[in-house]
Amino acid sequence: MTRGTTLRLYNTLTRTKDTFEPIDAADVRMYVCGPTVYDYAHIGNARPVIVFDVLFRLLRHLYGADHVRYVRNITDVDDKINDRAARDFPDLPLNDAIRRVTESTAAQFHADVKALGCLPPTVEPRATEHIAKMREMIELLKERGFAYEAEGHVLFSPAAMNAANGALPRYGALANRSLDEMIAGARVDVAPYKKDATDFVLWKPSKEGEPGWPSPCGIAGLGRPGWHIECSAMSWAHFGEVFDIHGGGIDLVFPHHENELAQSTCAFGQGVMANVWMHNGFLQVEGQKMSKSLGNFVTIRELLTGWKGRAFSGSALRLSMLQSHYRQPIDWTQDRLQSAQAEIENWAVEIAGYQKSGWPSVSVQEAVEPLVYALSDDLNTPAALARMRSDFADAGTLRALRVRKLALQLEWLGILDERQANIYGSSLGGWNLQALDLAKNKDLIDTAQVAMCNQDEVLFKLVQEGLQERGIEAAARDGKFLTLSKAEEGDDRVASLITARLEARRSKNFAESDRIRDELAAMGILLKDAKDPVTGEPVTTWDVKR
């Protein structure tokens, strides 16, 4: 651990900000509930992903990158997934349809959170890969008298937990509710097989065609796990019985985390599942809870590719998210995003300018120290950003040094790396035009649109097509963005136009061949006609007009 830094984190369970003491400083373990993969991730889902990514970065800084493990699961067994699969692929067998839904949603989620600058977690376990572990845990709970079987289900009994003596926590401790309150508040339509209204499902039977696995506790027939047991089993599989930090959004405190805590502590007879429970506050959009019926439901993908006529960079989304302390609510607005985007672009222009003229030497450690200090106080990102801005504005410091520190800080926070800074920052240096050309050549935008396109829109069309990454590589190779088009001649529109033009010339249709030459010229492509020195056949090579 970096000497002199005390990390303090607010613990939902104790309702205090406590000094963080890892169980094993050589193996700090954090589990965060991940997405249920049946639909695009919305901007609210992005919040825990970004918040816990910042904490992951901080922990890696404090304990060493090899001494922190971050597990974020993928829930790929859930009735919402089954319903979506049946709706979207009615002609496929349900299990095939489910695979389609979960695989494409998980891939989309990964692309989205990568654009938000998040590091991949150390492990991303899937529920479907841990069914045996879930069964094992359910059997432990039944053996110990905390679970019972009814009509093919296995149910957990909070009343049994609270009646047990010993080290177990009280059911309701996390959510700060009493069991009596919960019984009184339980809905009237309680399933008839439950002994108490608060009992929850560990395992349930599957009907013919539904996803199912052999059941635990000697129950005949196939079944599937309840949602809560999935996370208890996956954290156990990867971290053991007790670990350091458990995180998620505030809506997960009850019932999901309360139930996870109950299952894990009762299965292992421990007083603790995770030492610290952390929850991010909720995000609403333009003053209201996000909902499809209100029309203010916004996905990460929409923001990256165009929301209300504007696309935003992942950097701007991340910055605007970190502007608020993670436990505070956020009101997500277009203005908030626009100012974040503008700030990013200003920083990027400065950084890109200095990248060319060379950097003064500053260590990451030194540059990020003030941020580490602010973040060590319960992940105070607004204070860290305020400190970064005031250091950057410090007129008493050499400008090159200020810019260098800013670049290192932004990269460390996952907001902007040097490569991205180069793209956003060099619109004046020609990247914008080159990106435009590329987008035009790829038919992502047509010529009429070009005049109306701003740099962001072009860049995000390229990101969307996965071309930006490759474009950057090509640019890094020889400084020319458009070499990409050359490298992809095979499937390129340029190549097919050249072939069509050669055909036209062969059939002496010079009007058509001239038309194609003009079309290519409008795309910024200069043709050179020559004869193949061996075969004597006409060949056409091309270059980018400068």
Which of 13, 20, 30, 47 is the binder for ligand AMP (CB under 6 A)? 47
Q: Which does 128 bind (CB under 5 to 8 A by kind): Zn ion, ligand AMP, none?
A: none
Q: Are 318 and 414 in contact (CB under 8 A)?
A: yes
Q: Return the number of the residue (36 or 198) whose C-beta is nearest ligand AMP.
A: 36
Contact present, 211 and 82 (Cβ < 8 Å): yes
Report the chain's terminal Cα–Cα distance, integer Å. 53
Nearer to Zn ion, 130 or 404 (CB): 130
Question: E strands, 151-262, where?
Answer: 153-156, 200-205, 213-214, 222-225, 243-249
From the list ligand AMP, Zn ion, none, pick the one residue 22 interacts with, judged by a Cβ distance below 5 to 8 Å according to partner type.
Answer: none
- Please report how close the Cβ of residue 34 comes to Zn ion at its closest, in angstroms: 8
Contact map string, positions 119 to 148, toward ligand AMP, x by CB under 6 A: ------------------------------
Shorter beta-carbon distance to ligand AMP: residue 31 or 347: 31
- Residue 216, contacted partner among Zn ion, ligand AMP, none, CB below 5-8 A by kind: none
Fill in the per-residue mask, 17 to 36: x = in contact with ligand AMP (CB under 6 A), - = not in contact. ----------------x-xx
Residue 278 sits at φ, ψ, to 5 deg, of: -120, 140
Looking at residues 249 to 278 of the shown chain, list those that interact with ligand AMP (rule: CB under 6 A): 249, 251-252
Residue nearest to ligand AMP (CB): 249
* The one among 283, 367, 384, 453 contacting ligand AMP by CB under 6 A: 283
Q: Which of 28, 50, 290, 416 binds ligand AMP (CB under 6 A)?
A: 290
Note the residues at the interface with Zn ion (CB under 5 A).
33, 231
Helix axes 227-239, 131-143, angle to 10 degrees: 100
45 binds ligand AMP (CB under 6 A): yes
* 270: Cβ contacts below 8 Å, ≥ 6 apart: 167, 241, 242, 264
Which one of Zn ion, ligand AMP, none is in contact with 50 (Cβ closer than 5 to 8 A by kind)? none
Buried-state track 208-227, b at ≥16 Cβ within 10 A, e below 16: eebbbbebbbebeebbbbbb
Whether the CA torsion 23, 25, 27, 29 is positive or negative: it is positive
Q: Which does 231 bind (CB under 5 to 8 A by kind): ligand AMP, Zn ion, none?
A: Zn ion
CA distances from 461 to 63, 311, 415, 423 (A): 39, 9, 20, 14
Total residues binding ligand AMP (CB under 6 A) = 15
Structure tokens at 226: 């309840």
Q: Name residues whose C-beta falls within 8 Å of residue 422's C-beta, 6 or more positions apart in sequence.
A: 348, 352, 355, 431, 472
Give the pairing type, strands 200-205 and 222-225. antiparallel
Category of 414 on φ-ψ map: left (φ > 0), alpha (ψ -120 to 50) or beta: left
Question: Closest CB to ligand AMP among 283 and 467?
Answer: 283
Nearer to Zn ion, 9 or 231 (CB): 231
Interacting residues toward ligand AMP by CB under 6 A:
33, 35-36, 44-45, 47-48, 248-249, 251-252, 280, 282-283, 290
